[in-house]
Each structure stands twice: as structure tokens, then as C-alpha cells.
Amino acid sequence: MKSLGELFGCFKRQPRQGEATAPANQSTSDTPSMGAVASGMPPPKRPAPAESPTLPDERNVDEPGIPLKEALKEANNAKIAVFYSQNTSDEEKQILEIEAILKALKDPADVEKPLEIPDVQRIRVSSASKKAIQYLTLHNSWPLIYIKGNAVGGLKELQALKKDYLKEWLRDHTYDLIVIGGGSGGLAAAKESARLGKKVACLDFVKPSPQGTTWGLGGTCVNVGCIPKKLMHQASLLGHSIHDAQKFGWKLEGKPEHQWGHLRDSVQDHIASLNWGYRVQLREKTVTYINSYGEFTGPFEISATNKKKKVEKITADRFLIATGLRPKYPDFPGVKEYTITNMAERIRKHMIAYGLKFESGVPTKIEQIEEKTDEKAGKYRVYWPKKNEETGEMQEFSEEYNTILYAIGREAVTDDVGLETIGVERAKSKKVVGRREQSTTIPWVYAIGDVLEGTPELTPVAIQAGRVLMRRIFEGANELTEYDQIPTTVFTPLEYGCCGLAEEDAVKKYGKENIIIYHNVFNPLEYTISERMDKDHCYLKLICLRNEEEKVVGFHILTPNAGEITQGFGIALKLSAKKADFDRLIGIHPTVAESFTTLTLEKKDGDEELQASGC
């Protein structure tokens, strides 16, 4: 991730006389092992914040104020702090009003345990640092108030907070942080905050699916997403490899057969080991793990209900919502009782070639014909409207199936968390509306991952956001999570990897006349002898900007092992690579990835479909 120093150039300064120079590139991050890349790849609903122009280095700005890094640390460590810059009469007037509001919260002398109101710590910074802080927090109000390390806003935002909320905020609580949700992002945040010396609790509880399915600690990715998906994908690939092996001279005795029960048990055993490993990691890092469903019953209070319906009330200074998503269900008979839950035209064609049939329609009803047992699958009849090709009229159509999988998207698990009780703003999607990861309405509540409005629904994004956020709110770090140019992969039979913009999004953002697309099809060498039908469907393209020296803004590939290829090339887009950089790179021969170093064919409207050739 970029630091604000890279964006503004205002953090670096020469060491004062006698100061030691910190070692460069010192890393304190935890070892990542939270799962494979998530399979879905929705585009961000809002763009990542644009980079601000580089400001003069703070060393060269002749104005008072402590260095930004020190200022952020001071604000983080103070109970109440106010950033100011010009020391004008207007700033002084607002700071005095802020102090008056806080002093008015003081309890009468006869209260048994009166609330102590600490003095407001004033922190003066340069105008360059002011802009950097406003960019970091997305608060334009100034002077800027911090309470217990959380950016509140200015005088107006302070006045908007309920007095009893503000008063309760200044009291002591059991935990520094309560994380609601033990998925990839929640676990990463809990462990990182504990590493920073904070007292942390992590709540995780899985409500059963309509068919009664539950799972252990680790969230969707580990239990019912990335990990089992990739393992089953690998099982399918191995089936094809058995066929290929014979073409390459391997003699196999008898007809190979697949044992589904063995695969299922092996996958579940691996997931169970991960569940246990996460519990051990939390214990080792002194994170309190609570297997209960958390719900706000007060601005700083969570009621945690376990499976025995026993309720425990716990409090904290701040909260992180990391509850993730659960599958959506349409509203028609049979959909919840009889179904289970979980691209592009080239992928569709490839799957059709494998024998998959696509029907265009929305089911209206599902009926059970035969009940499923442990030994065999059930049988179901699905009804949907279909156009009669002869008459052109819509008629009800039905077919029988053994399994029905719904994959129409997921929705945020925020309805039963009590967010409306304390006033956390949510979007129509039920996701938390954030200023960065911080709630726009309740400054001690944060959200990451799939439940934060406008961010990609991907496991590594949640992990990164959780770690970066904890360093920012507990250490005053000048870091932000970058929500753009994220490499990801869909593990279809022929994998699809991408990074950056889709062709349609690039045209919409930059205009068709400013876009140039280089593309080609190719035949992987390993598919030649085996005569795999997949060889006719491999494809790649680079989307570039004409008016910016053909800067690459989109990378796409349909190929075996697309995930491994995309992860490697993703760094090129992060470093603003141009088409010429891909051309200068010498490829590894014979590989699929080398095709990106020899792209010369420009995609144009009306071109005939490309035909693949070998190396």
C-alpha cells in the first residue's frame, strides 16, 4: 500500500542531530495464510480516492508544526486531541468551544464514580500536514478532533454526537476493540491489534443455512468459499490430467473412477484443521475468542448470545464490523428447501463445449420429486417461463435435476447486529457507509471487507484492510488500503484472471477514442499432444490508454493457471506499466505468460474471431 508520504511528500525529514536512522523497509506484518483468492469479482462501486498532487517536502516549508508522523502518534495516544495549523483567532475560538462542550460533560461532585474529563491536547501541524491528515481521514473540517485515536471531525460533527454517547465514550471499557465476525478480515484485524498491545475480543457465530448447514471459525473463504472451491477445482483438473497422461505415454490399468465421498471428507478434514489453527492463533496472540452472536445493545455495549441462548454483555472503546455476506434467495416456492448456494462470452462458449446447457429464464417454482438420502441425490422439478420458438409466446417449461445451485449474489449480514440501534448509516445494499473504513455517523465503529460499501468483495482485500486499519487507528500509521488494481481470478474450468478495468469500464471512464486494446488467442503447448478442446478457448488482452503512452489499465487472460500468472503481472499495473514495458520484457519460452510480451494485434470493431496457433 502507498503511505501518505508517497502521496504528499510531506512526511520525510532529515534526522535531528543525535537521532538514529530507522532501517528501511522494516516489516512487522503477520504471516499471511488466510486462503485463496475469492471467486467473485464485482467491480468497486466507487473508485479509490484519486491521488492528490505532491506537496512540498515539510523540511522546506517555513511554518510551525511538529512532523506529521509524530503528530499522528500524539493524536493516537491522547484521550482527546485537536489538530490545528494557523493559530488564527477563528481556530482558537473553535477550540475553546470544543473544550467547553467537553467540560460540560463533567459529572456533579456527588456522583459515586464521576467521569474525569481530560485536558484537550492541542497539536499544531503545517498546512501540508493538514492536507495530508484531511486526505487520510476524509474529514475536511478544521480544527480536527480525535477522541481515543478516532477522527471525529470538527466542531459541527462534535455537536452532532449525542451527549450521552460522547460521555460514555470517555469512560473506561473492558476492551480496546471488539471485532464482530471471525472471517478473514476480522481475524487479521484482531491479531494485528493484539500484536500492537491492545486488548481485543473477536466474536464469531454462524447462523444455520435454510438446510441447517453451519461451519467453524474462519468465515466464508475458509469454510464454504475459496478453500473448498480451489480444492474441488483441482480435483476436476486432475481428472482431465488422467486423460492427458495416456496421450503422453502413461499406461493406466482399468477405468479410473472418482470417489466423491473421499474427496468430500478430505476437504472437510483440511478445513477443520484450519478452523482449529485459527483458534490457536487467537489464543497465542491473547485475543479473547467468543463463539457467540454479537448485537449492539448500547453505543459501547455488545450483547453476545451463545448457542445455549446465554447472554454476556461486553464493552469496548471501538468496534469493527466484519460479518461478511450470506447468499441471497429469490422469493418463490421451494427455493430455500431444495437448493444450495455458492462471465464472459468466451467462458460461456468453453463451458458449452464441455456439454453445459445454458437456459435464459428465472425459475418460478421448485418441486421435490424424490427425497435425497445419504446414498443418492434427490430429484427436483424446476419451472420457468420460456419463449415458444414457433409461436413466440411465453410458456411454462420444466425439467428435472438432481442438484440446484443458486449463485445470484450475496447480501451483507448486518440486519441483526443492532447497527440501527446506535445509528450506523447503511446503504441500500445493507453495507456500512464509510469514510474510508470508518462509519460516517458513528466514529467509533468501523467496517472492512464485504460489509463496507463500495469495496471489492475479495478475501485478500479484507485481510489487507484489517491489518492496515489497525495500524492506522492504534499506531497512527500513515497507511491506506488501495482498493484499485486488485488482481483476482475466477476458477472456472479454464481459469479467468484479471487486474484493473474491464473493457466496458475503460471505455466508459476514458472514452472509446482514448482506448487501445491488444489481444490474441494462443494454444498452450501442454494442450497439443493431449488434443484438449480447451486449446480453442485460451485468450488474453491488454487495455491501454492512447493518450498516456499506452499505460496499461486492464489485464485479462483465459488460460490454465491464470491465477498464478495474474498475481505476478499485477505488480506491473500497480507500478503504472506501459505497453512498451511489456514489449521490453523477455518471455520465458515455452510458457503461456510469454504471450503478453509479444502482443501486437490491435482489437477493432468488426474483426473476425481470432484463431489460435501453437508456439
Asked if the bond preceding 590 is cis, omega within 30° of 0, the reply is yes
Q: Tell me the one-letter amino acid at 258.
A: H
Angle between helices 184-195 and 260-284 (to 10 degrees): 20
Measure the CA dihedral 76/78/83/84, to 10°.
Answer: -150
Cα 284 from Cα 282, distance rounded (Å): 5
Residues 6+ apart with CB under 8 A from 244: 526, 530, 532
**Hey, which residues does 399 pair with through a beta bridge?**
382
**Inter-residue contact 358 to 352 (CB < 8 Å):** yes
DSSP output for 199-238: -EEEE---PPPTT-----TTHHHHHHSHHHHHHHHHHHHH
Cα 40 from Cα 342, distance rounded (Å): 10
Question: CA 608, 583, 543: angle at the middle one, nearest 5?
Answer: 50
Supply the DSSP symbol for 46.
S
Per-residue burial over 574-588, b if 16 or more Cβ lie within 10 Å, else e, is: beebbbebbeebeee
- Tell which phi-psi region holds residue 482, choosing left (phi > 0), alpha (psi between -120 and 50) or beta: beta
List, by residue number, the catalytic residues: 589
**Inter-residue contact 366 to 334 (CB < 8 Å):** yes
Q: How many CB atoms lie within 10 A of CB 230?
A: 18
Residue 183 Cα distances to 34, 274, 424, 528, 586, angstroms? 9, 12, 21, 42, 41
- Number of helices and strands (H, E) in the chain? 17, 25
Q: How many CB atoms lie within 10 A of CB 279?
A: 18
Cα 420 from Cα 567, distance rounded (Å): 39
Distance between alpha carbon 581 and the CA centroid of its chain, in Å?
29
Asked if the bond preceding 143 is cis, omega within 30° of 0, the reply is yes
